[in-house]
A and B are shown apart, each in its own frame.
Chain A
Amino acid sequence: MKFKNNKVKNYLIFILLLISSNIFSQNTYVVFLKDKSGSLFNPFSYFDAKAIERRMMLNKPLFDSTDFPVSNIYYDEILKNKIEITGHTRWFNAIFVNSNEKQIAEIKKLPYVKNVEELNMQVVLCSSNENIEITTNQKTFLKNQTGHLQGNLFRDAGYTGKGMRIAIFDGGFPGANTHPAFEHIRKLNRIIKTWDFTTNKENVYLANNHGTNVLSCIAGLLDSIPIGLATDAEFLLARTEVASEPFSEEKNWLEAVEWADKNGAQIINSSLGYTDSRYFPWDMNGKKSLVARAANMAASKGMLVVNAVGNEGSNRWKKIITPADADSVLSVGGIDPETYYHINFSSYGPSTDWRLKPNVSAFAHVIAATPNNIHETDGTSFSSPLVAGFAACAWQTHPQFNNMQLFKEIEKSALLYPYFDYAHGYGIPQASYFLAKTNQVEKQPSVTIDITDDLLKIAAIVLPPKDALNKYLYFHIKDSKGHLKKYEVIEVYQNDVITLNISEFEKGDILRIHYLGSTIEKQF
């Protein structure tokens, strides 16, 4: 057999090469090692002073085996096999390598290799398309943006995140070195360190402006109007994602979290997540993905990790994304600033193992800084930094809190607490809680439950609505395992709100209702 037409033959060869290079190309693997043989560690030379201070404050050990470096002996031996090493993680005692399956088979045979996992995931930046049109109501909008968290109370009391160090992982921060919204940060050299984990260079002021948006929602300040709450915080900026690259590795996230720890971060904001390129919605249990495990490890070392829940609420995926599924991650859902309840694209909880997610919520339609301007944009990507900024101020009010105490207190400060659901978590955190604990004051219930025959009637006092929040009645039915069977949000216009059939309830079920700031419950 022979090809008569050489051009056709050439086309064929080209196409086959193109496809095979795509399909059979090298992948990134994580090689987990059994031990850290021969590795030495001096925390005083490794950690930033701020990191040591955080550990001492939180009674965390300075000599933790997870902080010891990966064994040089093993590192060099793997390198000898002509395998490209792209990075490593101390916490997981693993080396990232680029190699083909044949090489990986050889690596697996090495006596000090515990196991090998493949990594190639598509990252999702949790924001929707931007709208660069600037409206005349921007100042009012910005006041609401921080005001819904009672940011003005923090600010008036002098809590602006001063002394707090926040690490941001994102796709790039173009304009963060020039934009007037960050001038107050630059002036006092409060961008402590930057690192681009995708190129291993220091410059992060390039690529995707998502990080610039996010930074502004934590600490932006324009015409003395704050865009976020922690305007006086310090920052570690890490570029971990390459937006134009279809497949990005979570190894950058892992390396960045260790870098953040080393450099004394107290709070990590990650408006990133991973979905169906590798996972199924039912994998969102906080244990499956490496980033979720890394986020939990970061929490165990005293950092508060704040992560967006994702924008999958109105699509097929629907559920939270990882690492927002990790149990020690403060997962933030999205609120619509117009209606003050769940914005339709914000991902829903719970985690697959029925833990409450999101934990709290914040605006998911915001004004944020672009490289040269400001714009309105959507996404839980921006709910997360608003809460990260809030957390910095809250921590400043109670520096004795450890990260998980702060996590719990932020949940308690939220508007719906102790009510919760899987769309809002506990709702929007409130600064007044940390300043005077005002919303711990018992409010008179403004809703009643009346059972007659086989009907359960819920009645409420209807007030002339001062704002949208006054109109909403939330109720959920929780089963004996603690799982919500059902939850609703109802806009109330009359006293008789809803009538439920008693047959809907089983023994052990709890009906919990939240209305006008008070929560009542009925156990069956």
Chain B
Amino acid sequence: MKSIKRNRATDYTNLNRAGTFLGKLLLKLNKLFFSATICVICGSLCRVKSFQLLFFLVVALNVTAQNVLMSEYPNEDTIIPKYGPNLKKFYFVYIGYEAFADDFSDNSANIRNRASGRTSFGFKFKRRITNFWALGYDINMSSSTFSIKQNSQKTFPSVAIHKKERLMIGGLGIQIFTRFNFDRRGNTIGKYLDIGGYINWNYTSQHFTKDFTTPADSSNALTIKTTESQLNYFENYEYGVKASLGSNHFAISATYRISDITKSSFVGFPEMPRLSVGINLALY
């Protein structure tokens, strides 16, 4: 569809606009006077006059042209598009945050739930099958942070007590999902339930600590931060199931990790929380 805004001239390849001859002539004259301007280097007055003439010609060229204000091809509007929130294909990016809820295990990491969570950013593709059913995939990057409680029961990752301590796992993942819609609707996402499985490649893991100390020879406190990367007690891959319950741009999601994230060879090391619940915002 060609939609022409007000006061904007447009030309088309299949239309020979009247005034082309005049336009060409004026353009030639413009070039001539422009060349003359460059040639007249010894008299600034002459140059000013030439520029004035050039300006006049350019203005004249514009005001004498026909102005196509609107040009519509209605047949093009009848083509049913394939891309849209409730059309054949739809894709969008989203951001999400899920808080870790629990690991359903007695041998769990001693983590602070409120400060632990997973932030994700991803691309979601949806293929409509019927008005009530769709399939799709989701490619995402995520960062999971586990804040460790500092108390006497602490054994993981070490017994050492710090001012602050957290573990971070960075992942690249793919999710395959099936979507069930609940409402009859037009070209909107509507209300839906997504159920799917995911697999993540944990490409990085880090252990951060933060402590304060006051050296014996100084009255000023020092902050000591440590970072340990590529933690050998975490698995490189994880998989699980994910569900989202949403309405248009917003969704509440829950992820449950089926696989262990802590390597079984590290006997006594606890498992990290498996369930996370949070919100997603679709950007489209």
Q: Which residues of A contact B (CB under 8 A)?
A: 1-5, 8, 11-12, 15-16, 19-20, 22-24, 27, 118, 120, 275-283, 313-314, 316-319, 336, 339, 341-342, 344, 348, 350, 352, 421-423, 455, 457, 472, 483-501, 504
Contacts and interface: CB of A to CB of B under 8 A. Distances in A.
Contacts of A281: 77, 187
B15 A23 contact: no
Most buried by A among B17, B66, B80, B247: B66
A3 B245 contact: no
Contact of B252 (A19, A283, A457): A19
Contact of A319 (B64, B65, B77): B77
Contacts of A319: 77
B108 A485 contact: no
CB-based closest 10 A-B pairs: A496-B18, A491-B67, A1-B104, A276-B186, A489-B70, A279-B186, A499-B16, A276-B187, A489-B69, A19-B245
A341 B69 contact: yes
Given A19-B252, A336-B6, A344-B5, A499 B74 contact: no
Nearest to A479: B75
Contacts of B67: 490-491, 493
B99 to A, nearest CB: 8
Interface of B: 1, 3, 5-7, 14-19, 63-75, 77-78, 80, 84, 86, 99, 101-102, 104, 108, 113, 182-188, 191, 193, 245, 247, 252, 277
Given A5-B102, A276-B186, A490 B69 contact: yes
B72 A486 contact: yes
B252 A488 contact: no
A68 to B, nearest CB: 30
Contacts of B102: 3-5, 8
A277 B188 contact: yes
A346 B213 CA distance: 69
25 contacts: A3-B101, A3-B102, A4-B108, A5-B102, A8-B99, A12-B277, A16-B252, A22-B191, A277-B188, A280-B187, A283-B186, A313-B3, A339-B69, A348-B74, A352-B78, A423-B72, A483-B74, A483-B75, A487-B71, A487-B74, A490-B68, A490-B69, A493-B63, A498-B15, A499-B18
B260 to A, nearest CB: 16
A15 B113 CA distance: 17
Contacts of B71: 486-488
B123 to A, nearest CB: 21
B66 A497 contact: yes
A423 B3 CA distance: 11
A46 B143 CA distance: 68
Contact of A422 (B72, B182, B184): B72
A494 B245 contact: no
Nearest to B5: A344
Given A344-B3, A490-B68, 18 more contacts: A16-B245, A120-B183, A313-B3, A341-B70, A423-B72, A486-B71, A486-B72, A488-B69, A488-B71, A489-B68, A489-B70, A490-B67, A491-B67, A493-B67, A494-B19, A498-B15, A500-B14, A504-B14
Contacts of B184: 118, 278
Contacts of B187: 276, 279-281, 317
B74 A485 contact: yes
B33 to A, nearest CB: 23
Contact of B17 (A422, A423, A498): A498
> In this complex, which of A8, A350, A352, A455 has the most chain B Cβ atoms within 10 angstroms of its Cβ?
A8
B101 A8 contact: yes
A356 to B, nearest CB: 11
B65 A493 contact: yes
B73 A278 contact: no
B18 to A, nearest CB: 3
Contact of B186 (A278, A336, A341, A485): A278
A362 B3 CA distance: 20
Contacts of A22: 191, 247
- Residue with the greatest number of chain B CB neighbours at <10 A, chosen from A313, A488, A497: A488
Nearest to B187: A276
Given A279-B186, A493-B64, A15 B70 contact: no
A111 B18 CA distance: 71
B168 to A, nearest CB: 21
A483 B73 CA distance: 11
Contacts of B99: 8
Nearest to B16: A499
Contacts of A1: 104
A495 to B, nearest CB: 8
Given A1-B104, A494-B64, A318 B72 contact: no
